[in-house]
């Protein structure tokens, strides 16, 4: 595991740290295979995921069903943020030693500084505090039900599940490709370190994530960048106390460092995303103004599921985002396409 940090402008920005580990890759793999709605947009083809599922033990498949039903992949990520774990054994030992209250508290998502006392009370299984957290996270698609589950589940049952699913996935999926995955993650951090020295923190975060512009917030002092291979091309975001987390997709250069003809994964994604009549029409609609899913559906006279599929592709390519419940075109990503292509060709 390797960590580096940098400090930007005084009082105006945030620190940036990078941290890589096969344990992050393991937890994110569990998150990916249990998010069926996104599987068709990931770099790995559907045949890969079906093959993985088929070859897993029945017990592990049952554990993954439990993950899908209760979003316990979130608990794994929450726990991995508690300290740097040198190995799976150390992580397992850590989980086993947690008290019931510690386990629940650490698995509950961080919401804000003001909600920390309520989080403590919810960890003690206070019904009132649990309901307050559910109300505070009602706009999140799964937080309320996840919080309710975490605060009510038997702690020993949860521990056994987390250890079993993490250990099972690591042995079945991570261990066979351990050297390859370690090399990819190490290479990506090394590449990012070189570029980091040439940019201020905000520029660096935008470049590393393929287009996410994160402006400083008063309560956030650090941005943690965690490279991941399994969830490409998506960025996954999370909040922990005082920190914004991005699990970002490793670059193509990190996967094939000796191939000078390998284009950036986001360059490929963006051109693929724009190489479709429906998606080009969507881009033009969003160039005119931000629109809701219903607006786009009515304009293009197509089913919502079809529209949502195309928007998912545009979002994974960082061409479209969501703000205040509406889809928004990331104009800078569109206008920079020609420059990115020129840079690739001339490098």
Residues 144, 286, single domain; the answer is no
- pLDDT at position 2 is 41
Domain count of the chain?
3
User: Is there a single domain that holds both residue 87 and residue 120?
Assistant: yes
Do 97 and 137 fall into the same domain? yes
Do 134 and 204 reside in the same domain of the chain?
no
- CATH number of the domain bearing residue 294: 1.10.10.10
80 and 219 share one domain? no
Last residue of one domain, picked from the residues 191, 225, 252: 252
In this structure, the number of other CB atoms found within 10 A of the CB of residue 95 comes to 19
Residue range(s) defining the domain that contains residue 231: 179-252
* pTM score, whole prediction: 0.80
- Is residue 12 in a domain? no
Query: Dihedral sign, CA of 339, 316, 224, 94?
Result: negative
Averages of pLDDT over runs of 10 residues in the chain (347 residues) are 43 85 98 94 94 96 98 98 97 98 98 96 98 96 97 97 98 97 95 85 88 87 97 94 96 84 82 92 94 93 91 89 90 80 77
Q: Which of 199, 221, 252 is the last residue of a domain?
A: 252
Q: What is the pLDDT of residue 333?
A: 80
Do 191 and 227 lie in one domain? The reply is yes
Residue pair 66/160 in contact by the 8 Å Cβ criterion: no
Whether 127 and 217 map to the same domain: the answer is: no
Same domain, 103 and 25: yes
- Classify residue 7: in a domain, yes or no: no
Quote the pLDDT of residue 12.
63
Distance of CA 153 to the CA centre of its chain: 25
Strand-by-strand arrangement of the 222-228 sheet: 3-6, 15-19, 222-228, 243-249, 236-240
């Amino acid at each position: 595991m390797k960590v580096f940090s940098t400090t930007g402008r005084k009082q105006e920005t945030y620190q940036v740290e990078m941290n890589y580990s096969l344990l992050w890759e393991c937890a994110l793999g569990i998150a990916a295979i249990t998010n069926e709605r996104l599987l068709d947009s990931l770099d790995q083809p559907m045949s890969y995921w079906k093959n993985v599922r088929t070859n897993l033990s029945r017990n592990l498949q049952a554990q993954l069903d439990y993950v899908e039903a209760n979003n316990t992949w979130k608990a794994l990520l929450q726990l991995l943020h508690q300290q740097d774990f040198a190995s799976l054994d150390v992580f397992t030992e850590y989980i086993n030693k947690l008290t019931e209250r510690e386990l629940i508290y650490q698995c509950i998502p961080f919401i804000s500084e003001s909600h920390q006392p309520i989080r403590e009370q919810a960890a003690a299984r206070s019904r009132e505090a649990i309901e307050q957290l559910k109300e505070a996270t009602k706009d999140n698609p799964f937080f309320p039900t996840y919080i309710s589950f975490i605060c009510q589940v038997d702690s020993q049952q949860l521990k056994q599940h987390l250890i079993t699913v993490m250990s099972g996935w690591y042995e079945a999926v991570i261990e066979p490709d351990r050297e390859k995955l370690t090399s990819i993650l190490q290479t990506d951090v090394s590449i990012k370190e070189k570029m980091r020295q040439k940019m201020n923190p905000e520029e660096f975060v935008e470049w590393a994530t393929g287009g996410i512009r994160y402006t400083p917030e008063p309560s956030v002092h650090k941005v943690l960048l965690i490279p991941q291979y399994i969830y490409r091309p998506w960025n996954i975001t999370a909040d922990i106390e005082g920190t914004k987390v991005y699990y970002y997709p490793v670059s193509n250069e990190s996967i094939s460092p000796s191939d000078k003809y390998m284009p950036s994964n986001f360059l490929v994604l963006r051109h693929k995303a724009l190489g479709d009549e429906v998606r080009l029409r969507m881009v033009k609609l969003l160039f005119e103004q931000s629109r809701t899913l219903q607006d786009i559906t009515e304009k293009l006279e197509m089913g919502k599921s079809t529209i949502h599929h195309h928007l998912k592709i545009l979002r994974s390519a960082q061409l479209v985002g969501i703000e205040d419940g509406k889809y928004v075109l990331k104009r800078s990503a569109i206008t920079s396409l020609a420059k990115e292509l020129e840079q690739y060709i001339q490098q």
